[in-house]
Amino acid sequence: MELCKSEEVCRRTGCEKSTSKILIVGSGGIGVEIIKNVVLLGFTDLTLIDLDTIEISNLNRQFLFNKNHVGKSKSLVAANVSQANFAFHSNLKITALHNSIMSSEYDVDFFKTFKVVINALDNRAARSHVNRMCLAANVPLVESGSEGYMGQVTLIKRDVSACYECDGPRQEQKTFASCTIRNTPSLPIHCIMLTMT
């Protein structure tokens, strides 16, 4: 009998769906799909972290959010909406953190509390940071991303597979998709992009 994909992932990472803590970094376009799929696969202990707030431009592709959520934390709303929509999982526990994963409070010990980390990030600096933390904590990282109509998913596990930075440091990001620009700019390039749109 062939294993379903979730059973294959569990076999490769050593996780048990009902008891494994999963960290999902990013609650945007890819993140909301991951949250839905992880819950529907039977995982019941999730932690979501995202620094962003919901914008009107998110509503066409981030199905957990509606116009009443604009201006609110993506991770907090995603947790609340998921908790309500997936109430059939009576033991579902979703913890939401509205913060940057690069904050010093999310150190190696924090990462060690999770069985698997899933990246749904839209910037290289944060991806590289999570990659390094997962390697140091020896926690498997599922790295995901998209560019245009293409998507990619990679399982990164220390001493088993290549990591996000194994090819050397990534070049500094020079262009930014308009969907990644936040209402509250955090970099000078965000201000420039906001004036151009």
Rounded Cα gap, residues 121 and 134, in angstroms: 15
In 3-state terms, what secondary structure has residue 183?
A: coil
Which residues sit opposite 142 in a β-bridge? 118, 155
The answer for residues whose C-beta is within 8 angstroms of residue 182's C-beta and 6 or more apart is 52, 53, 55, 190
Rounded Cα gap, residues 97 and 99, in angstroms: 6
Catalytic-labelled residue, pool 4, 15, 179, 191: 179
Instruction: Tell me whether residue 166 is one of the annotated catalytic residues.
Output: no
- Check: CB of residue 86 under 8 Å from CB of residue 92: yes
**Which residues belong to the active site?**
179
